[in-house]
């Protein structure tokens, strides 16, 4: 398979590969390669063939597309893996929590999140304006943590097989800029994901909360807030859905 990897959760895929293999993964940083070649020589001068030996070290070049292909091959044949690109005879509504699925579909980021994402652009200026010398060190650190968004989660909706699926992409695993994600809404992509909800989730339950998934506030702080500003409201689906954990997206 050839394509472009849009999203890749290395930590999760490595973890699941270890479970499938039944052993811990080894992180190989470089290989030592030995290359022996038979060399034609003048038999009159040497009386026999001579061999030249060459040993060198090579660093491992990461290939995410190769990793996806390798992961899928490990999954093939397992009873907890369903490949919808090879067969359409599966029923998503009856699948249990924890199974891994592969399918082709279209991903969409809710428009409500655009404003939330804008906040991230102004975060450095916002922190700078709030953190000042009048605060003690602990207060300054607390304020910085309050606005920490290094692991921002991005809400996505996927329509597939007349079923709505919701997920949250971890920004650190994105291989394209957020601004470029819009063009992928019109392109069919291949998705590898794990089902995380045991059954269908009622549409009345928000699947994304900016105060938890974007600003990482704890439950007590979220409940103590009287109101929410634009861009910090919970995001709901327009119908019942299943929750999935996306492991990889490529196109």
Using an 8 Å Cβ cutoff, are 175 and 155 in contact? no
Residue 235 DSSP symbol: B
**Helix (H) or strand (E) run with residue 159 in it:** strand 153-160
Sign of the four-CA dihedral 76, 15, 246, 234: positive
Strand partners, 235: 208
Report yes or no on whether pTM surpasses 0.85: no
Instruction: Give the integer Cα–Cα distance in Å for 220 and 206.
Output: 18
Strand partners, 170: 153
Instruction: Give the integer Cα–Cα distance in Å for 207 and 203.
Output: 9
Strand partners, 248: 8, 192
Output the six-digit token pair for 85: 């690109």
List per-residue pLDDT tens for the chain, 251 residues long. Answer: 677 899 999 999 999 999 998 887 777 666 676 765 544 545 455 455 555 566 767 676 678 999 999 999 999 999 999 999 888 788 888 899 999 999 999 999 998 888 777 766 666 655 565 555 666 666 556 555 555 555 789 999 999 888 899 999 998 999 998 888 888 888 899 999 999 998 899 999 999 988 788 776 556 655 655 566 666 788 999 999 999 999 999 98
DSSP three-state, residue 201: strand
């Amino acid at each position: 398979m050839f394509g472009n990897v849009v999203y890749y959760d290395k930590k999760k895929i490595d973890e699941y590969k270890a479970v499938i293999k039944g052993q811990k993964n080894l992180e190989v940083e470089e290989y030592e390669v030995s290359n022996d070649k038979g060399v034609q020589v003048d038999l009159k001068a040497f009386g026999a063939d001579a061999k030249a030996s060459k040993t060198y070290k090579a660093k491992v070049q990461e290939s995410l597309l190769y990793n996806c292909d390798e992961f899928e091959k490990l999954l093939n044949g397992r009873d907890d893996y369903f490949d919808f690109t090879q067969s359409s005879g599966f029923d998503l509504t009856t699948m249990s929590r924890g199974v891994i699925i592969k399918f082709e579909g279209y991903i969409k980021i809710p428009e409500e999140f655009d404003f939330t994402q804008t906040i991230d652009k102004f975060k450095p200026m916002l922190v700078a304006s709030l953190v000042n010398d009048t605060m003690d060190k602990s207060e300054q650190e607390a304020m910085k943590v309050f606005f920490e968004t290094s692991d921002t989660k991005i809400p996505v909706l996927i329509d597939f097989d007349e079923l709505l699926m919701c997920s949250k992409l971890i920004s650190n695993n994105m291989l394209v800029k957020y601004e470029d994600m819009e063009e992928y809404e019109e392109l069919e992509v291949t998705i590898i994901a794990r089902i995380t909800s045991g059954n269908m989730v009622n549409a009345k339950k928000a699947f994304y909360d900016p105060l938890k998934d974007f600003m990482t506030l704890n439950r007590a702080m979220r409940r103590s807030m009287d109101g929410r500003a634009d861009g910090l409201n919970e995001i709901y689906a327009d119908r019942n859905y299943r929750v999935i954990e996306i492991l990889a997206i490529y196109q």
